[in-house]
Amino acid sequence: MDHRVIIAGAGPVGLTCAALLARAGIPVQLLEAALERGRDLRASTWHPPTLDLLEQLDLAAPLVAAGLKTPTWQVRMHPSGERAVFDLAAIADDTRHPYRLQCEQQVLCELLESRLALMPNVTLHRGVEVTGVTQGNQGVTVAVRRASGELETLTGDWLIGTDGARSRVREAVDLRFDGSTYPETTILATTNFRFEDHLDGLSNVNYCWSLEGTFSLLRLPQLWRVSLYADEGESMDDALTLESIQTKLQRIVPTGRPYEVLELRPYRIHQRIVEDYRKGRVLLAGDAAHLNSPSGGMGMNGGIHDAFNLCEKLTRVWRGESDDLLDQYTRQRRPVAQQQIIAQAHQNRTRMQERDPVKRRETLRELQATAADPVRAREYLLRTSMITGLRQAAALP
């Protein structure tokens, strides 16, 4: 038996786990099925407490330097521009980073991989897919298939599954992943069009109601990410045509010429949670453990919060404490995922999918009243910025 922790999945959660454990002197073998680091459209919003946590790895500052600080975010009517604006200065006493940061997740992955390359107790293997898991009282055996087709078995003391929504680790240990899939498909498009020059008072993060439905505008340092949806009665195949994408973008700002669309990605939205974050010597984190609507940007952040919680406990177990401590990981993180992350993301998604103009107006007025009240605004921002969830987890035995 090799004395090490095996991590399946080298996305932001797996890489964070590897860095935290390696920093504590624990040998780590990191497995990633993909041959190259993913550069497709994924998470781009970093919440204040996530940046606070990443300071422990000296990664917050370089991430902030590469991204775009976003001190306010808003819900707005389009095209009128009426809006409720939430200013994160309201939680300046609760975080060292009172803003959202807009930066692609691959930037953190690059920073972490560079850090891990300097750590002699970490190895990263790409093109290695988990095909099976067996475990006993003393360790875990992982069956893998390399990109060449070669089959192999690896052994370790513990296995962490951070291998995403279709987690092979979760499947291999037969943990239920209960939940549902939303009916709509989100279409994510990027463009270098300068929406900020045409729409009055935009924040860097904007959730928008329009006559035709809903869309969001999220700004990154060099471009905007636009979330679009199929029109009523429109098939997804039709919605993904360049003609349809252009029509949807022209509704936001008519330009008289085609938008330059740099990337386009459709994806389904789920809300699911695993029955237990631990099964023996196997632990799950991130999308392998929970999925939520991306509205509000809470998924990746929640996964990184999992990583810090789990690795603090696993380090203590590695150093001799009872492995019963790892059951606390589920007790602390699962309720937060269910009651804070999934529930808040569902609320965000439901609000923006509302089509009734009267209900939209009522919701906007309520949001404006919340934003204008210092006490209510702080409470709301603590919750939507995920600080409340972290505090809840820390308070659970």
Q: What is the pLDDT of residue 41?
A: 63
Q: Is the peptide bond between 79 and the residue preceding it cis, with omega within 30 degrees of 0?
A: yes
Q: What is the pLDDT of residue 346?
A: 78
Span 84-102, average pLDDT: 97
Q: What are residue 156's DSSP bridge partners?
A: 140
Q: What is the pLDDT of residue 175?
A: 96
pLDDT band at 40 (very low <50, low <70, confident <90, very high): low
Closest to 28 (Cα-Cα) out of 304, 316, 314, 329:
314
CATH code of the domain containing 162: 3.50.50.60
Is the model's pLDDT at 305 over the cut of 70?
Answer: yes
Q: What is the pLDDT of residue 344?
A: 76
Residue 372 lies in a domain: no
Q: What is the pLDDT of residue 88?
A: 98
Residue 174 lies in a domain: yes
Angle at CA of residue 352, ends 351 and 355, nearest 5°: 90
Span 302-306, average pLDDT: 96
Ramachandran class of 369: left when φ > 0, alpha when ψ lies in -120 to 50, beta otherwise? alpha
Residues 44-69 pLDDT 10s: 899 999 999 999 999 999 999 999 99
Residues 143-169 pLDDT 10s: 999 998 999 999 999 999 999 999 999
What radius of gyration, in Å, describes the C-alpha atoms of the chain? 22
Residue 52 lies in a domain: yes
The domain containing residue 63 runs over which residues?
5-70+103-178+270-350
Angle at CA of residue 148, ends 147 and 150, nearest 5°: 100
Ramachandran class of 115: left when φ > 0, alpha when ψ lies in -120 to 50, beta otherwise? alpha
Residue 335 lies in a domain: yes
Is the model's pLDDT at 258 over the cut of 80?
Answer: yes
Residues 220-253 pLDDT 10s: 999 999 999 999 888 999 999 999 999 999 999 9
Report the share of the chain in percent with pLDDT over 90. 80
Is the model's pLDDT at 296 over the cut of 80?
Answer: no
Report the share of the chain in percent with pLDDT over 70. 98
Q: What is the mean pLDDT of the chain?
A: 93
Q: What is the pLDDT of residue 375?
A: 97
Span 105-129, average pLDDT: 95
Residue 123 lies in a domain: yes
Q: What is the pTM assigned to this prediction? A: 0.94
Span 129-149, average pLDDT: 94
Name the domain count of the chain.
Answer: 1
Residue 75 lies in a domain: no
Residue 113 lies in a domain: yes
Is the model's pLDDT at 24 over the cut of 90?
Answer: yes
Residue 56 lies in a domain: yes
Span 77-82, average pLDDT: 96
* Residue 39 or residue 279, greater confidence: 279
For residue 148, CA distances in Å to 126, 128, 169 come to 11, 9, 21
Residues 343-383 pLDDT 10s: 777 787 888 888 889 999 999 999 999 999 999 999 999 99
Residues 189-225 pLDDT 10s: 999 999 999 999 999 999 999 998 999 999 999 999 9
